[in-house]
């Protein structure tokens, strides 16, 4: 029996990314998942905790923009799946070319409403892309908490889900109402469906906490898997 997990959510950035702070009840050692923007808010949320690492569910811009400030301030490593290595260079190349970050299906709307928020600037500090590899099934010890990394590709090739104490932090792999986007480059629908099947094999009460928006459970989502496969997104 592992320790009880405390999960805290900090919503950051133009796409309302869920940055998760994870630690064992009664213990200060903590993991930051997806510091996607607003480093000040992320650092405020871990005041009084001893952060051991930053873990990335994947390397899209909205999950990594605060990495440089956060790792410099805390002096901790960045953990990511090695198959995601092409993703961040691709994000930067696309943004340089277009002059703004690619926010998938939300891009046109965001550019119309508030172009400055998506704008790519060569002056901002960007993550150097350096990470410590974390592989499928690997257990990370965050104090007394056993945190398991699951390789759940499809939205990106190196997508990770964090499994801890009856909770899954699914990044952009699984949301209430279906899998994450597989339209963007480097993503794949049949692959994400395999990942989603694996996540929905967890017990019904397991919490699903995605990279954006509200949480759900395995029991609430599992009945809809066949619909998602039939519609193809």
Smallest separation (angstroms) from Zn ion to the CB of 212: 6
The answer to whether 58 touches 84, Cβ cutoff 8 Å, is yes
Token representation of residue 28 = 């200060």
Conformation bin of residue 184: beta by default, left when phi > 0, alpha when psi is -120 to 50: beta
62 binds Zn ion (CB under 5 A): yes
- C-alpha 176/C-alpha 180 separation (Å) is 10
Token representation of residue 139 = 């257990």
81 binds Zn ion (CB under 5 A): no
35 binds Zn ion (CB under 5 A): no
Rule CB under 5 A: choose which of 129, 158, 207, 211 binds Zn ion.
211
Token representation of residue 3 = 């320790």
Smallest separation (angstroms) from Zn ion to the CB of 227: 22
Smallest separation (angstroms) from Zn ion to the CB of 86: 14
Smallest separation (angstroms) from Zn ion to the CB of 106: 10
Element (H, E) at 30: strand 29-33
158 binds Zn ion (CB under 5 A): no
With H, G, I as helix, E, B as strand and everything else as coil, classify residue 230: helix
The region of 26-34, 56-64, 110-118, 140-148 touching Zn ion under the rule CB under 5 A is: 56-64
Other Cβ atoms less than 10 A from the Cβ of 140: the count is 18
165 binds Zn ion (CB under 5 A): no
- C-alpha 42/C-alpha 174 separation (Å) is 23
60 binds Zn ion (CB under 5 A): yes
172 binds Zn ion (CB under 5 A): yes
The answer to whether 61 touches 30, Cβ cutoff 8 Å, is no
Smallest separation (angstroms) from Zn ion to the CB of 32: 16
Task: Please say which residue, 16 or 82, places its beta carbon nearer to Zn ion.
Answer: 16
Smallest separation (angstroms) from Zn ion to the CB of 61: 9
Smallest separation (angstroms) from Zn ion to the CB of 2: 28
- C-alpha 139/C-alpha 38 separation (Å) is 28
207 binds Zn ion (CB under 5 A): no
Q: 3-class secondary structure for 134-146?
A: CCCCCEEEECCEE
Q: What does the binding site for Zn ion look like in residue numbers (CB under 5 A)?
A: 60, 62, 172, 211
């Amino acid at each position: 029996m592992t320790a009880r997990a405390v999960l805290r959510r900090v919503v950051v950035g133009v796409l309302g990314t869920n940055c998760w702070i994870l630690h064992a009840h009664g213990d200060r050692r903590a993991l930051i998942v997806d510091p996607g923007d607003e480093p000040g808010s992320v650092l405020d949320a871990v005041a009084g905790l001893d952060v051991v690492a930053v873990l990335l569910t994947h390397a899209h811009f909205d999950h990594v923009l605060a990495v440089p400030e956060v790792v410099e301030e805390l002096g901790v490593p960045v953990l990511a799946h090695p198959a995601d290595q092409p993703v961040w260079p691709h994000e930067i190349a696309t943004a340089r070319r277009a002059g703004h970050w690619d926010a998938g299906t939300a891009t046109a709307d965001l550019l119309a409403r508030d172009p400055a928020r998506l704008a790519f600037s060569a002056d901002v500090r960007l993550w150097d892309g350096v990470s410590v590899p974390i592989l499928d099934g690997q257990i990370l010890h965050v104090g007394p908490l056993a945190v398991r990394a699951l390789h759940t590709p499809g939205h990106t090739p190196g997508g990770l889900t964090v499994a801890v104490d009856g909770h899954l932090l699914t990044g952009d792999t699984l949301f209430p109402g279906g899998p994450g986007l597989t339209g963007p480059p480097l993503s794949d629908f049949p692959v994400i469906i395999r990942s989603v099947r694996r996540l929905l094999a967890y017990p019904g009460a397991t919490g699903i906490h995605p990279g954006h928006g509200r949480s759900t459970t395995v029991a609430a989502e599992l009945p809809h898997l066949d619909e998602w496969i039939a519609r193809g997104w």
